Structure 1
Amino acid sequence: MTDPETPGDLVELDVLRIAHGGVAVAEHEGRVVFVGDTLPGERVLARLSDTTHGRFFRAETVSVLEASPDRRPHIWSAASVDRDPADRAGGAEFGHIAPERQRALKTTVLRDALERTGRMDEAQLDALDPQVRAVPGLPDGTRSRTRIRLHVDDDGRAGPYAARTRHVVAVDDLPLGVSELEDLLPSVPRRPGPVDLVAPSAGTAFALPNGTTHSPVRERIGDRTFVLEATGFWQVHPAAPAVLTAAVGAAIDPGLFDPRAGNLDLYGGVGLLAAALGDLGGPTTVVTTVEADRRASRHARENLADWRGARTVGARVDVFLGREKGQRPGATVVLDPPRSGVGRAVVEGVVALAPAQVVYVACDPVALARDLATFAEHGWRPRRLDAFDLFPNTHHFEVVAALAQG
């Protein structure tokens, strides 16, 4: 069939490269096709799923005609290419790829974002040498989540959505979750709507149906305990809080760090990274953590009680920066924004403070690259960049960038 333009049509595709978002890129009769459940170097039979964009199509792999040597049996049978794409569990889009190749593909995505969106040249990229690195955990990347959101449909079936749909795929295992979450599956409440499965490091795992409340949970990092809401933000990988705390500590230049300056932890959540600053500077460290979620901000106040100079502000970061008068010379500013990044207004608000250094923790490489380009417009450039595979078997990863002027 030539020039197919109807969803459901089948095409054979040679997969060329990886793209941001967990899909790969192929071409068909001069048109780009974004295709899931494959990887570069493969030839696949794919079903078109979206042909409305004009310049490109979307498709899902139906079968693999020529497999890459880096393909492995999917770690989750519910997400396997052997299943029809409409009944294929979402949320494990790299689960068919050998772990080392997963990290290599993520590194490619990171470098591409820094080059295209971040406008970095080869010399800058080579100096930073961004590499997505493994973190402690099982070699195959399973049992790497302490929080999973499932959905219950009107028929009482529980599971994830199929990719880019609202169709619930019923499952009887959760290999990406820690074993305590999988053990909860038989007892998941069957009321239609989302269900959050939570396994705190200091407590018993539980299921939290939509519309219910739960007392705060506790997460232990080393000898420190953090209190947060059960459905509040917390890194899902068991090793992530410790990994990111260490990475932020390593990113801070001790020669520029002044514990008594007006240090800031922006998008601070319950105070995890503010505590990293406090651990570096001691009990008199001055740090203000800013978080729009008022409940998280209240928990941060409790979590940071060990530092006499700690202050918490419940406010949006852009609003907080808009209210700031004057500069904060000598300050270290930590940014840990949501996936959308910080945006131009926040970058310029941080720059206006004239801090000594900035540490940016990012979970989206394109948003990070965009914000780094804005920082560069004001003379701020990354001097160090570390990336971590904190979401194995998915396309996501985390980056910690250290910025300084000059």
Structure 2
Amino acid sequence: MSRERIIQFGTGRLLRGFVDCFVDSLNRRGLYDGKIVVVQSTGGHTWKDINDQHGKYHLVLRGIENGQPVEECRAVESISRALEINGQFDEFLQLAENPDMQVIVSNTTEVGIQYDAADRATDAPPSSFPAKLCRLLYRRYECGLPGFLIFPCELIDSNAQVLKGIVCRYAEEWGYGQDFLNWLEQENKFCNTLVDRICTGFPKEEEARWQEKIGEKDKLLNVAEPFHLWAIEGDYEALLPFCTAGCNVVWTTDITPYKKRKVRILNGGHTSMVLGASLLGLENVLECMRHEQVHALFRHCIWEEIVPALGGGTEEESFARAVEDRFSNPYLCHHLSDIAVNSVSKFKVRILPTILEYREQFGALPDGLCFSLAALLAYYRLKEPKDKPEYIRTLKEKALREILSDQAVWGRDLSFLMEKVSPYYERMLAGRTEEAYQMILKDKGGIL
């Protein structure tokens, strides 16, 4: 029986459609002997479903490869069990006492790797993910055991170094001592990573068909595209032979070019498109790619703004063409409501840097990406977004200029975007989103 070797923060579909199936591949090929313990710290019942199904679930890979449709269903059995940290904090800390544990993986979204001044060493558990990790690592240190390989999968720049910095900050504030800080530095490897796979989760509209096909009820059924890439700084192929198992994992000294391309083009393309499309009543990415106006504006943002700001090289152009094909995958149903979660933080990471770099390089503001900001603000005003309460209050209650100049929201004053954003924002608030699309597409010379 495989031993528990990996601790995973996050029960979501991305990790279950990505890391967990890679580990399953290692185990099935006899290249590794390890199970994953999944830790859930958010609301929901996924952890219960995992335990009820003894860690087993099915992953469906659907898409186009070499011009041919692909649909593959595989059982994934790399998870041993799940813990709900709010009710099982002692069991969570006990994971650190297991000498077989080697690896920590996380995906707590863009807002997960953040410092919370309210967290204390006596909290059971503390609120933030870095504080929870600090408690776990300190217990490991107290046991006199070796450290971990730590692979954060959150889509922020230098994700591992940011996480490590916050963990060290808590250690200093909580008085854990210099010996622990030395152990953190010497015994643990925090590796920056970049993950790339579109995972759309449980296809509820196809539940009956898939239950019949796999012959059992699976509450954790996951769906993803065949394409995947995991770029990791470092080289731990000897411990985790992903490449040998046929996984598209790149061990590298610098993930920066991989991350920048992916975050700006793929994730930026998503974020630039989905909120305006939602205001038009569209529900998934495929509908967006088949909608004349939404698709036209998406292509403008990608080809006339994002790719040029990245330098317009052949690798950027090739990746952009692949992204357009991936978004047009007829076998995936990627709901806009899922992509829209935490859109303020996503905008700051995925789009704002492109706006600033475009202005610096070309001496002008990118109209399409400014339109996407107007759509974000209107969506938060008119809909019920899922985001930090303080962001929602600001965007719902304040006037546009106040919103744009609020550095607590954006990290800088964005009032210089007022003239570009205002005309689209006003029309969207008035229920004239289609007119806003017509306006920008006309300004750009019609349907592109």
Task: Calculate the TM-score normalised by the size of structure 2.
Answer: 0.24
Task: Calculate the TM-score normalised by the size of structure 1.
Answer: 0.26
- Write 1 or 2 for the structure with the bigger share of helix: 2
- Write 1 or 2 for the structure with the bigger share of strand: 1
